[in-house]
Chains A and B, each alone.
Chain A
Amino acid sequence: MKEKKKIQKIPFILLVFFLTLWMIGLAVGEPTRVLEQAKSICLSCIGIG
């Protein structure tokens, strides 16, 4: 008889953990800061600053 495979739990635990982090970031308003940074030219990325 074919052995029934178990569902891996680790990916779901990791997903819940990182989703929680993401939501904490959202709650403290981090997306505003990220957007602010992403909208302005990053001189370091270009190789100037």
Chain B
Amino acid sequence: MQSIRKWVQTIWIFLVNGYWAFPFTGNMYQGPLKVICSPGLNCYSCPAATTYCPLGSLQQLLGGIRYSLQSGQYYIGTFVVGWMGILGATFGRFICGWACPFGLFQELLHKIPSKKYSIPKALNWGKYLFLLFFVIILPLVVVDQFGLGAPWFCKYVCPAGALEAGIPMVLLMPDLRSTLGLLYINKIAILVGFTIWSVFASRPFCRTTCPLGAFYALFNRFSLIQLQLDEDACTNCKACHKVCPVEIRFNETPGSSECINCMKCASDACTFDAIHIAIAGHRLGAAKNKPTTVPS
């Protein structure tokens, strides 16, 4: 199962970054596919990006909302939020575990042999704050003299943007190098910080900072496709606790907003077939024959 997941993650990277002519054209992809939403965190200024980043687009639309309304256009982000909601309501955080390029980047870094550390649970709230303030409130409220807000998360935080767009675009377009300053240094420093943290802790960005993960987390309990626990089959052996990359106790908190639905607990730990995928509450596939107890 986990090798299938790695393949799916890799395929998604190439689906949302499918334009490999950029070294020859010297520019990023500018075709019509960019009206499609990337499910995972993938910067649309990455020269190979073939889809748009929902977070980037939403911030841009919210930042320009005054200008849009004044000019009689109702660009308030419904198209982007609609996309995000359809994805969230269908898959929940399966997207984080199966389709996010930056999630895979962190997972690969975590494979580097080193001492591993856990992340304090309180830090998990950080991603909701980033969603609320850096993606919604600050782009809406803090505006320049023209009434335009900035994409705060992209501008000051997003390490995926620095990795996928900041570094390659500066290499691709030498003219940009003369304009680099403190903002660029700040973003590279954040990228380096998360890169090092990912070696020692599992998926630190997803768990503490990612606003897209925070949005999908809101749906984890209500999504159409879910990871469910069969309470009758669970023996509370706690094997699922040991393999979880985001340190949740699945059998105690099924449907946890922190769960990225990587299914490690189902494939690598649970021998009682107690964890399964369900669609609208119905188990996908038949249950294996469970050992029955013989009454004495």
Contacts and interface: CB of A to CB of B under 8 A. Distances in A.
A3 B187 CA distance: 54
A8 B280 contact: yes
B34 A22 contact: no
Contacts of A12: 224, 280
A26 B81 CA distance: 12
A45 B183 CA distance: 10
Contacts of A31: 35, 79
Interface string A8-36: 10111011011111111110111101110
Interface size class of chain A, counting residues whose CB lies under 8 Å from the partner chain: 35 or more
Contacts of B85: 14, 17-18, 21-22
Contacts of B77: 25, 30
Contacts, number: 163
A15 B154 contact: no
Contacts of B49: 38
Interface stretch (B54-62, B105-113, B196-204): B54-62
B158 A45 contact: yes
Given A45-B56, A47-B186, A35 B35 contact: yes
Given A7-B282, A14-B222, A31-B35, A41 B78 contact: no
Given A15-B224, A37-B52, A7 B45 contact: no
A14 B83 CA distance: 12
Contacts of A47: 155, 161-162, 166, 180, 183-184, 186-188
A34 B179 CA distance: 26
B158 A11 contact: no
B14 interface: no
B82 A14 contact: no
B89 A11 contact: yes
Contacts of A37: 44, 52, 56-57, 60-61
Interface string B71-84: 00111011111111
Contact of A22 (B43, B79, B165, B188): B79
A28 B65 CA distance: 13
Given A45-B45, A47-B162, A6 B281 contact: yes
A11 to B, nearest CB: 4
A14 B184 contact: no
A17 B85 CA distance: 8
B80 A34 contact: yes
Interface of B: 28, 30, 32, 34-35, 43-45, 49, 51-53, 56-57, 60-61, 68, 73-75, 77-86, 88-90, 150-151, 154-155, 158, 161-162, 165-166, 169-170, 176, 179-181, 183-184, 186-188, 219, 222-224, 280-282
